[in-house]
Amino acid sequence: MRCDSVHMKGNTQWIQVFLVNDIPGMVIQLGRLGRRGNDLGNTSVIWLRDFTSLNVLFIFVQLMSSTLILQQSSRFWIDKPGHPVFRLNNTLYKLDPAAISRSSPYLEGLCKAPGPGGTPQESSEAEPISLIQVDNAEFEIFLSIAYGRPPKAESWPHGSAAVPSLLRLLELARYYLSPATKEFVFEVLWTRRHYIPAAKLVNIGLVYGSKPLFKCGFGALASMRLRDLTSLDVDLIGLEVYVALARLIEALQEHRHILAAEEPQFRDGVQQLGNFDGNDTPAHSPSCRDNEACAVDWHQAWWNGMGRFLLDGREPLTWTDSFDQFKGFEFGRMDPLCISRMLARVKKADGNGHMFTMVDQVAAKLMEKIENCDEQGIF
């Protein structure tokens, strides 16, 4: 590469650069920095507007010069005429145009992009279609999905080790407009969801349009305290989701107070012996000698047990954990059969049920935005 003196063309100052054509496709890329001049044998002439463009040119040539040795892909090279050739880093790929058309409108558009004459220019090994900002390993996973041979979910590293690669592949799927690749990544991410922070799951659901991942992450956030959310968490989920989450957590806290303060009541009368499934409000058993004392001690046990577990100021327990602790409590003067009936009623009532319903309702309203927006998500 050689830089000549500064020339004037009209009122514009131009810099003339001579570039030897020893790197396939480089001159086509460099021509975007300025104007192509008349080629001189194996030397191309490029006119640049200013020295800033010249610096960019030098950097670009250095990068391209470090990747002179190109190799054909061992897995994705179909040696047939008319098949498009792509270059990614040091590797060339000759691909089935039908698979490209099926899997990525973006790559299909690159193949059909008009050349200098206004008609699509056929790519070749000497002048491939250059791809950027993509890792070869992830690109080949994308191609495997395009050819109908996706890798198995269990082939990915266990735990959280695979998550960064999966997120990069998901971004590639969005960049290439590839729904099949997105669905594949969603399936693998679902098997790794327990290793992904809840706020990140919500972010993935919103940005890429996955309702299951969004719901999973949102439900996990709803079980947290707002003060435990970091500023990064808030940035990931966005202001609208944060406001909805804050209102939901307040509603759940109010419901928790109601559960803690209002224990299930005995109904009047005596219930005969028999199996009690917990569906109805129980009455005292025939063996209960003091119904009033039994009810008083039930109220006291509930408040000292379930109420304290649910409203613990430092570490409140969930409904399920509270009930597990409560079952081993001392119930004072209560009749054993009355105890078993009341515990069956509490188990059947399941205080978690209403909480889950509240979370599902709020998540559903937020997820409508995913359903009503395009495939790019709502961000």
Give exposure, 165-198, as e/b (b: 16+ Cβ within 10 Å).
Answer: bbbbbbbbbbebbbebbbebbbebbeebbeebbb
Alpha-carbon separation of residue 72 from 26, 77, 78, 79, 145 (angstroms): 18, 7, 10, 10, 20
CB 338 within 8 A of CB 366: no
pTM: 0.67
CB 306 within 8 A of CB 271: no
- Does residue 241 have a pLDDT over 60? yes
Q: What is the tens place of the pLDDT at every residue in 320-372?
A: 888 888 988 889 999 999 998 889 888 887 666 777 888 888 888 888 876 66
Domain positions in the chain are 2-65, 71-136, 256-355
- Residue-wise pLDDT tens digits, 149-196: 888 877 787 777 888 889 999 999 998 999 999 999 999 999 889 999
Helix, strand or coil for residue 48?
strand
| Position 68 confidence tier, pLDDT thresholds 50, 70, 90 | low
Mean pLDDT of the chain: 78
Mean pLDDT (whole number) for 263-267:
86
pLDDT, tens only, 44-66: 455 554 545 545 555 445 444 44
Distance of alpha carbon 104 from alpha carbon 375, whole angstroms: 13
- Cα–Cα dist 84/107, whole Å: 10
Cβ atoms 363, 215 nearer than 8 A: yes
- The confidence band for 5, taking pLDDT boundaries of 50, 70 and 90, is very low
> d(Cα 281, Cα 295) in Å, to the nearest integer?
13
